[in-house]
Structure 1
């Protein structure tokens, strides 16, 4: 019998969503254009942003695609461009609710193959809490995905604490995904915002959650850092050294060693290098890591689960990485997918 495999980092969009650029007269909202030659392109700020494919939204096509790799379950989340944290909160909520309703419908229609984490307008923590509650209590989703920062707020911002507090109380799974990458204007070539900025964004998010005392105050908060935590786990030695040598600058809001929080965070497995994945397991523990691929995009793992399989782990550790950690993070039982 094959082992259950759950991909915790799989992006999903509807084929169509509300054209808020037209509704609110603001071209910053992403819109989708379907061309006569069968192409599907997202535009933002009136400019081409990204091409997507039918497997971004077709649930059966995705199930069939994953089956080639022996992966049965996808934890679907939106594409970060949809966060729209820059927008008026009530306008962004319009988009978030549409995406969450569509995601919940997919999970209801394919319960053995999908779980979902929604999206919320974090520029208004009050509305974000309300939508998170709706996602979990009414829509049956397992939590939500958030960005690595929210406009000028890092994740230690006092304004955001009520959201994290609600997430902890609800038992919500929170996926932190890099977005709006730092340094983008000064890195116009070589796809550097994605290659350099994304890992840095994840370390920024993790350090703010740690040094800002969010994880200390909310030990039940279930945070997963996408992309293997970005550069955070791989520079934890430097971060810890800074904490030890300059506590006057680093330990201003939390006196506890940052390395202690590696056992409180979750990480997906997509790091693009088996040696990096082995380091992640050695540093953070098998119980904190779970299969994640960034499907269906080019920067994602093209053969879902291949990184884990390459390490030749024992059956117990493989099962933990393929589904055990994910079920714990999501608050679900294995029977859900039988």
Structure 2
């Protein structure tokens, strides 16, 4: 079956020393310390070790053959968002990353689809970069679950969402800068607990803030199966119902009414949970997404869906056609 892996990350093989160039900050650099291996370095600390499948499209294509993936949607690693930086500097970083993705897509148009990164701390610059990328063949944009601790429902992002709707740009919302991470560094809890909570935060913010009401044609996909939002939707609805004075102050519509109006990826690590999210949002709103090439992603991208007790029709929808709709292919 035709397969599009909608959630994969990529980085240029070589990064400028943006901290040195701009004179501040802890921008990521790469230390290629061994053949096919590099440390992502943040300031003077090692952030993560990556291998050549994170930057070499030919290695990725070979692994795609093994994983039976026909295409990958590629976007930057969230730590590269750099929303904390000065907006004009973040724009320069974004342009560098986006140009590298564009080169990969242009060299292998039958294998890769690009999502841009933009300086979300400045809506006008974010729109400018989004427009540039969409004109150059991108299908959408990846954004963080918050922007410097601001929720996506804040009015300053309205102009950006309006531009996404106008440009028919798909949006992938990915967790980053997890709330409370400074209080739970042990046991990898920011990734295990914080990431699911961040995605629920983003969905709730966009629902309760009326973003989906203002921009009814917005095409949003939330990573990691929608995080903890779908497993706790009845609690969220109960809060909306019992304390509307706190929850429904900007949007009176029941949050369950939005099920099926946005996409989530399939990376939920469990067949029962996969069936659960299908039951809630519909197979046509679930897209294959692996978080390749990182360890917390699927060990074999696509295996969860392929081995699930689903109908062949639903598997074909999740593996390919739902993504085509989200990305307007």
TM-score by length of 2: 0.98
Partner of 1:336: none
Is 1:192 matched up with 2:175? no
Query: Does the CA contact (< 8 Å) of 2:260 and 2:280 recur in 1?
Result: no
Query: Does the CA contact (< 8 Å) of 1:18 and 1:95 recur in 2?
Result: no
Is 1:75 matched up with 2:73? yes
Compare 10-19 and 83-92 and name the one that shifted more: 10-19
Deviation at 1:141, TM superposition (A): 0.6
**Equivalents in 1 of 2:66, 2:243: separation in Å?**
51
- Candidates 72, 91, 112, aligned match of 2:110: 112
Partner of 2:251: 254
* Shift in CA distance, 292/38, structure 1 to aligned 2, threshold 3 Å: closer
Query: Does the CA contact (< 8 Å) of 1:27 and 1:44 recur in 2?
Result: no
**Equivalents in 1 of 2:13, 2:24: separation in Å?**
21
Query: Does the CA contact (< 8 Å) of 2:284 and 2:322 recur in 1?
Result: yes
Deviation at 1:312, TM superposition (A): 2.8
Partner of 1:313: 310
- Candidates 7, 23, 26, aligned match of 1:9: 7
1:93-108 pair list within 5 angstroms? 93-108=91-106
Partner of 1:30: 28
Deviation at 1:70, TM superposition (A): 1.1
Please give the secondary structure, in 1, of the residue aligned with 2:185. coil
| Alignment deviations for residues 29-54 of structure 1 (CA, whole Å, 9 cap, x no partner) | 11111125653011113211111110
> How many matched pairs?
329
Partner of 2:130: 132
Partner of 2:143: 146
| Alignment deviations for residues 259-317 of structure 1 (CA, whole Å, 9 cap, x no partner) | 11111110000011111111010111101001000000000001111111122322221
**Equivalents in 2 of 1:29, 1:83: separation in Å?**
10
Query: Does the CA contact (< 8 Å) of 2:226 and 2:264 recur in 1?
Result: yes
- Candidates 206, 209, 219, aligned match of 1:212: 209
Deviation at 1:326, TM superposition (A): 0.3
Query: Does the CA contact (< 8 Å) of 1:8 and 1:293 recur in 2?
Result: yes
TM-score by length of 1: 0.96
| Alignment deviations for residues 37-78 of structure 1 (CA, whole Å, 9 cap, x no partner) | 653011113211111110001111101101112111000010
Gaps of 5+ in 2: none
**Equivalents in 1 of 2:24, 2:79: separation in Å?**
15
Query: Does the CA contact (< 8 Å) of 1:227 and 1:270 recur in 2?
Result: yes
Gaps of 5+ in 1: 333-338
Is 1:302 matched up with 2:299? yes
Is 1:282 matched up with 2:285? no
Deviation at 1:111, TM superposition (A): 0.8
Please give the secondary structure, in 2, of the residue aligned with 1:263. coil
* Shift in CA distance, 303/39, structure 1 to aligned 2, threshold 3 Å: closer
Query: Does the CA contact (< 8 Å) of 2:123 and 2:156 recur in 1?
Result: yes
Is 1:175 matched up with 2:140? no
Please give the secondary structure, in 2, of the residue aligned with 1:145. strand
Partner of 1:335: none
Partner of 2:43: 45
Please give the secondary structure, in 1, of the residue aligned with 2:39. strand
* Shift in CA distance, 220/35, structure 1 to aligned 2, threshold 3 Å: same
**Equivalents in 2 of 1:37, 1:155: separation in Å?**
40
* Shift in CA distance, 287/20, structure 1 to aligned 2, threshold 3 Å: same
* Shift in CA distance, 58/38, structure 1 to aligned 2, threshold 3 Å: closer
Superposed CA RMSD in Å reads 1.0
Query: Does the CA contact (< 8 Å) of 2:25 and 2:85 recur in 1?
Result: no
